[in-house]
Amino acid sequence: MLTLLPMLATAQSDNLWLNFKTMQEPYVFYFTSKNATFDVIRKELSSVTPNLYTAKKQEKASFLVLDNSQNPAIQGDGFVINADEKNVKIEAKTSAGALYGVYEFLRRRKTGETVIKDLVSNHVYQIRILNHWDNPDGSVERGYAGKSIWFQDGKINFRSDIETYARANASVGINATVIDNVNADPKILSSQMLQGVKTVADRLRPYNIKVYLAVNFSSPAALGGLKTSDPLDKDVIDWWTKKVKEIYTLIPNFGGFLVKANSEGLPGPMDFGRTHADGANMLAKALKPYGGIVMWRAFVYNPQGGDRAKQAYDEFMPLDGKFDDNVIIQIKNGPVDFQPREPFSPLFGAMKNTQIMAELQITQEYLGYSDHLCYLATMWKEFLDYPTYHNGKTVKETTLNQKLTAFSAVANTGNMKNWCGYVMAQSNWYAFGRLAWNPDLTSQQIAKEWINLTLTNDEDAVKKISNIMLRSREAVVDYMTPLGLHHLMGWSDHWGPEPWCAIPGAREDWMPRYYHKAAADGLGFNRSSTGSNAVEQYQEPLKSMFDNPKLCPKEFVLWFHHLPWDYTFDNGNTLWDELVYHYDKGVKEVEAFQNVWTTLKGKVSDPVFNEVTEKLKVQLDEAQWWRDGCLLYFQTFSKMDIPFKTKYTFEECKAKLRTKSYIERQKD
């Protein structure tokens, strides 16, 4: 018995946030429909009810799940719940809505809420989609939870417990998934592979999850053997038209394509003298008859000189208004690349006649992998709620007033038992789904829900854990890239600090020095009107605010300005003082998290307690390494004092990075 307990507890977090509570009430159930989605509903309810008694007539039942509601408050796959100990009514207009309502009910029951009155819940974004960067060979680009959950050895071979994935997504309303990497292998569209993709789509359909594919723009040539992949070529258009027909014959509810084109060496329409709009619209026309869409990425990153942060705007703004109505431009939250903190991409709000959507990153490529506790809802809320000053809209609002609306994020799943490589990383998948359903939820509320569902209901423990989560992202920013610094991480595998990195022959704008510009005269990238003038891409008054170091929010000051080491802030601190303060504050935060965590023994399961304890040790060590590596390197230019003893010497910091890559460590 004793040995069994920890195993049971482990299984709990392997089950993600799906640990619902048994209901003792003698409910009699009534379901309006019989279909695959209602089979899921029955299964979920059976697992929390000793006996699932059903009635033939609605009047005889006390627990109703309806998908034929006339309630005018319900939109799309939304739902209304009314419940007490005696009667439960979950009503929706679609089976998917009924499923979402059941999950909401189970979630609330888990936290002890038995009386629910007229709870109306409608989704804000229509498409709530995960982007998996999984490759057919089974590897996962920027994945820190093991191998692919979809592919193995060039073929589809999904996790045997893929139902848990489907349930987890449906429970937060995620209704779409791109199963392959945006660095797309043309063979994803081979007939053999599509047969496999069909099996995935069939498994996910009952959960209202549509499958999409990331496609390689040169598939007609690379896979189809055509001479070209020029989007205006008749044979190319024909090839795509036939391919799309083949897909829809297999997968009638196929969602569409996600495309990374003319970025980081991938092919695209510009290889043939065409534009992003030519490329996107050609694919959109092939998909249109079936209701499919194209998500075309704005993450363009090509060597062209100049300021990389300006490129997406420069390339896409001239195309505003030129995209078909089943195209949506997928824009990363920041103008560079999923850094711990970036200002929002200036395309939000500026593209007024084009449908746009945000792309976030759940996988912690630049935020400590699945080793650092870093709750991302706070970062995403900061982004969504930022005022763009375009027609008075926040970033979120700029993505809503259009025919198609969508919200996406790069997944953090893998084939490790616990899906995400760290129980705390599961919270970010959960948070993404909840925000896609309702971006007005607070980070705090989402954290509380997730803790209740996954870790504990103990009030004091919930408070403490939630407090750690809410502070965690700022801590990571502080010990990695405070004050607007960015891209200081290790070469290629993006692990650890390497602001000194210089790889002979490598592209200049892949090198940290390009971004931080540390020199005897100071630190930071001058993107003001006296520099690259990236500030110009923002709407007034942001433009003037970002342009002036005195007005620029301190958290972005080195993003927009190159400042002398003795530059003085309003609080009397020099730039150097502030840097030292923030780097050290980040480390102190992790120490504080550790101190709080030790008080939680017995309040969460032992395996969770031990896992977080171990990971926090790694996080503290890496935070110290980041702090020391960055400060000791910057000190070679500033020649100013570090007012405490570092844990590592500069030489040790460099050596630590080169000892072993993260991927190698994972194999141990």
What is the Rg, in whole angstroms, of the alpha carbon atoms belonging to the chain? 25
Compute φ and ψ for 134, nearest 5 degrees. Answer: -95, 135
Could you write out the DSSP letters of every residue in 482-537? GGG----BPTTT--SB-TT---TTS-GGGSHHHHH--BTTBBS---STTTT-GGGG
652: part of which helix (H) or strand (E)?
A: helix 650-659
Distances (CA, A) of 143 to 134, 135, 167, 271, 660: 8, 11, 21, 30, 17
- Which of 40, 184 has the CB closer to ligand GCW? 184
CB of 662 to ligand GCW, least distance (A): 13
Active site residue 365: yes
Q: Which residue is nearest to ligand GCW (CB)?
A: 337
| From 84, 113, 264, 521, the catalytic residue | 264
Compute φ and ψ for 361, nearest 5 degrees. Answer: -125, 115
Rounded to 5°, the CA angle 295-299-304 comes to 140
SS3 assignment, position 587: helix
Active site residue 459: no
CB of 344 to ligand GCW, least distance (A): 17
- Which of 67, 365 has the CB closer to ligand GCW? 365
- Which of 370, 454 has the CB closer to ligand GCW? 370
- Which of 116, 406 has the CB closer to ligand GCW? 406
| From 104, 278, 359, 365, the catalytic residue | 365
CB of 366 to ligand GCW, least distance (A): 8
Q: Give the burial class of 346: count Cβ atoms within 10 A of its Cβ; 0-12 exposed, 13-18 middle, 19 or more buried.
A: buried
CB of 454 to ligand GCW, least distance (A): 28
- Which of 133, 419 has the CB closer to ligand GCW? 133
CB of 380 to ligand GCW, least distance (A): 17
Are 328 and 296 in contact by the 8 Å Cβ rule? The answer is: yes
- Which of 63, 495 has the CB closer to ligand GCW? 495
Binding site for ligand GCW (CB under 6 A): 133, 141-142, 181-183, 260, 299, 337-338, 365
AA identity, residue 503: I
Pairing of strands 28-31, 53-54: parallel
Compute φ and ψ for 296, nearest 5 degrees. Answer: -105, 125
How far is Cα 113 from Cα 325, in angstroms, rounded to an integer?
43
| From 185, 337, 371, 628, the catalytic residue | 337
- Specify the length of the chain in residues: 668
The pair of structure tokens assigned to 289 is: 């008859």
- Which of 18, 309 has the CB closer to ligand GCW? 309
CB of 501 to ligand GCW, least distance (A): 15
First to last CA, the chain: 31
- Which of 342, 628 has the CB closer to ligand GCW? 342
How far is Cα 567 from Cα 544, in angstroms, rounded to an integer?
20
CB of 312 to ligand GCW, least distance (A): 12
CB of 286 to ligand GCW, least distance (A): 23
How far is Cα 586 from Cα 481, in angstroms, rounded to an integer?
10
Q: Which of 587, 595, 558 is nearest to 648 (CA)?
A: 587
Order of all β-strands in the sheet with 88-92: 53-54, 28-31, 63-66, 88-92, 79-83, 116-121
Give the catalytic positions in this structure: 264, 337, 365
